[in-house]
């Protein structure tokens, strides 16, 4: 399994750290770069990881929908 998707993920984590520490306009640029890097990571990730994330999203969404229906 190629691990090329870890490069933008590490870059995103570093820029997220810079965003957290920065207060200037560079922080907004770092946040934008973080979002782009995370999207690139998801595109480059192997299908097994993408499938696992998709299942997690479906489970969380299903729980949130049931929680909202019980409140009504």
What is the DSSP annotation of 26-58?
A: HHHHHHHHHHHHHHHHHHHS-HHHHHHHHHHHH
The pTM (predicted TM-score) of the whole model is 0.63
Which is higher by pLDDT, 71 or 15? 15
Structure-derived torsion over alpha carbons of residues 58, 59, 64, 68, reported in degrees to the nearest 10: 90
Residue 51 is predicted with a pLDDT of: 95
Which is higher by pLDDT, 27 or 53? 53
Residue 57 is predicted with a pLDDT of: 92
Share of the chain above pLDDT 90, in %: 17
């Amino acid at each position: 399994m190629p691990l090329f998707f870890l490069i933008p993920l590490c870059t995103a984590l570093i820029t997220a750290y810079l965003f957290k520490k920065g207060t200037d306009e560079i922080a907004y640029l770092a946040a934008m770069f973080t979002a782009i890097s995370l999207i690139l990571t998801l595109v480059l990730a192997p299908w097994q990881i993408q499938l696992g994330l998709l299942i997690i999203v479906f489970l969380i969404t299903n729980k949130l929908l049931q929680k909202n229906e019980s409140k009504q």
